[in-house]
Structure 1
Amino acid sequence: MGNREDLLAGAKRCLYEKGYARTTVRDIASAAGVSMAAIGYHFGSKEALLNAALAQANKEWGDELARALATEIDPGTPPLERFEAIWTHVIGSMAEHRRLWAATFDTIGQVQHVPEIRDRLAEALAEARVGLAEGFGGVEPGAENVWAIGSFYQALLTGIAAQFLIDPDRVPTGHELAEALRAITSTTPT
């Protein structure tokens, strides 16, 4: 690996171990085994490096999840069963990636203090909405409703991740989420 890759790996370790706000330039350089000056040379700032590391970690999780869903869920599965299977898998993966979710929420907490973080997260969120609509919802790229469906899945993902971090023993299951969706969509307004 080169310095850039070492810095990304070191920054990910620091995000997982210390969080966004508590990670210093020295921490990252030490974890990466490179000089502190290398951060500025390759990324411009500590924040830019941490943002890139978090984006890379989230992309790796998304790619891993997409591969698993592609091999484990038959495309012909009825929509509500597909929804349940996807969320069962997503919730199960949260335990394996707990540090990623904690780092993500720690980073979200910085948006009021570091405008670059808000900008980067907003870009990532826009990409995630489309990816979630296509991957979870089976929506065709460019479909009219891709943004709305992606926003729904993103809200659900963020909310479930928050519940998982706070109270992992009582996170709803994929089955419970599917049952809730079934109840919500079949309820006749009074």
Structure 2
Amino acid sequence: MGNREDLLAGARQCLFEKGYARTTVRDIATAAGGVSMAAIGYHFGSKEALLNEALAEANREWGVELERAVTDAAQPDSTPLDRFATNWTAVIDSIGAHRGLWAATFDTIAQAGHEPATREQLATAVAEARSGLARLFDNVDEADEANGRAVGAFYQALLTGLAAQYLIDPEHAPTGTDLAEAVRTITA
């Protein structure tokens, strides 16, 4: 790996272990195997830009993994509500397996209020996530922009809220079955 890749790997490790706000340039350089702190500026412009890129990369990888998990759990002959429960069970399992990623994501969201570049990058990532979630869970085509945005926004809100509950109190966070039952109750 080159310095750029080493810095991304080091930043990712720091994000997951220390969080966004508590990670220093020195922490990243050390985690990157002793890469020069000046290399951060050279390759990324700033510590924040490096952390943002590392988090975006980790989230993209998580999205690919989530798609695989949901596809593997698919039960095409089941009812829509049963598929909903199965899909969200796969999501919950993935959140649990990637606690560091989710903790870093929420830490970064907290920083976005202070850093316009971070907020802008997160806004782009959220738009990408909405589209991906709409396709993944409901096969909403990108051409169906209005429905895709609404469906994606719903799933993004559900995902973010579920991740927050899981991080805070995993023992009492809702299950996929709980979520399906709530949808059944709300739509009855």
Which category of TM-score, normalised to the shorter sequence, fits these structures?
over 0.9
Tell me by how many angstroms 1:75 deviates. Answer: 4.2
Residue ranges of structure 1 left out of the alignment (5+ in a row): none
1:110 corresponding residue in structure 2: 111
Distance 1:39 1:2 in 2: 12
Tell me by how many angstroms 1:5 deviates. Answer: 1.1
Cα deviations by residue, 1:15-55 (Å, 9 ceiling, x for unpaired): 01111011111110110021111111111110000000000
- Residue type at the aligned position of 2:162: I
Distance 1:153 1:102 in 2: 19
Distance 1:174 1:137 in 2: 16
Runs in 1 of length 4+ with deviation above 6 angstroms? none
Partner of 2:111, secondary structure, is coil
Distance 2:132 2:41 in 1: 31
- Residue type at the aligned position of 1:164: Y
Sequence identity percentage = 67
How do residues 1-190 of structure 1 correspond to structure 2 at under 5 angstroms? Answer: 1-33=1-33, 34-143=35-144, 144-186=146-188
Distance 1:77 1:44 in 2: 50
Give the structure-2-normalised TM-score. Answer: 0.95
Say what the alpha-carbon RMSD is for the aligned residues: 1.1
Partner of 1:140, secondary structure, is coil
Distance 1:23 1:142 in 2: 41
- Residue type at the aligned position of 1:118: R
- Residue type at the aligned position of 2:18: K
Partner of 1:170, secondary structure, is coil
Distance 1:47 1:75 in 2: 43
Higher mean displacement: 71-80 or 100-109: 71-80
Give the structure-1-normalised TM-score. Answer: 0.94
Kept in 1: contact 2:70–2:91 (CA 8 A): no
Distance 1:21 1:69 in 2: 32
Partner of 1:172, secondary structure, is coil
Distance 2:120 2:78 in 1: 37
Distance 1:35 1:142 in 2: 46
